[in-house]
A = this chain, B = another copy of it.
Amino acid sequence: LKIKAETEFARAYHHGDLKNALIVTALKQIAARGPRALSLREVARATGVSHASTYRHFPNKESVLAMIAEQGFRKLSQAMRDAAERERDVRKILHRVGVAYVEFGVSHPHHLQVMFGDFIASQEAYPSLVEAGKEAYELLAYAVRAGQQAGRIQSEEPQLIELAAWSQVHGLALLIASGQIPADGIGPLKRAELVSGVLTLLQEGLSVKPKPSEQRRRGTRFAPKKP
């Protein structure tokens, strides 16, 4: 039914529509069977077009995956942006953005693989992919800054703070997306509780400590040495 409709439609492809149609088909196949099983010939077949026509729109398979990775970063960015905007309590933005990151991975595990699974030899060959990745990172950094401005998160060594937040959220997303952790939770803890709990622990780690007098040289331990 659906396949027949797609095939008939194929007769009308022109002005670069085919490029888009190929991406849509590839995305479906990746969602269904993972990026490692992706075959350009199969994509062309399902799109109702000869396998050689792909090369009129993409130089090679890697560039198809690069475009899909780029779209993934844009979707992830959108999800984080929505999460940040929907949260009115500025102290909780990082929490919400972190949840959005992890939930993106849970909903689109195969897409996450394309984004981080080393399918692209060097990202520098795809400037718009790099830009999309940076945008996603910036949204996370923004969430950290929101916490800092609310006086909740330490402001020293901002790059370190951002990296800690990114690692935490990224690791959790990948562990769940790769099935290393059951997607429905561990024991009595449901997934949402795990995610919320881990993010809360993160935030405690990044938080401004109430009694600086009790802290031993905090913030200087990893600072670059100065004469």
Name A residues whose Cβ lies closer than 8 Å to a Cβ of B.
34, 36, 113, 116-119, 123, 133, 157, 159-161, 163-164, 166-172, 174-175, 178-181, 186-189, 193-194, 196-198, 200-206, 209-210, 214, 221-222, 224
Contact = CB atoms under 8 A, between A and B. Distances in A.
A116 B109 CA distance: 13
Contacts of A214: 210
Given A160-B197, A160-B198, A224 B188 contact: yes
A166 B209 CA distance: 24
B168 A118 contact: no
Given A169-B171, A171-B172, A189-B224, A206 B200 contact: no
**How many monomers of this protein are in the complex?**
2
Contacts of A160: 189, 194, 197-198, 201
A-B complex: 6 closest residue pairs judged by Cβ atoms: A171-B171, A205-B205, A167-B171, A167-B172, A170-B171, A188-B224
Contact of A119 (B36, B119, B170, B203): B36
Nearest to A204: B205
A222 B189 contact: yes
A193 B171 contact: no
A167 B206 contact: no
A65 to B, nearest CB: 11
Given A168-B167, A201-B160, A118 B178 contact: yes
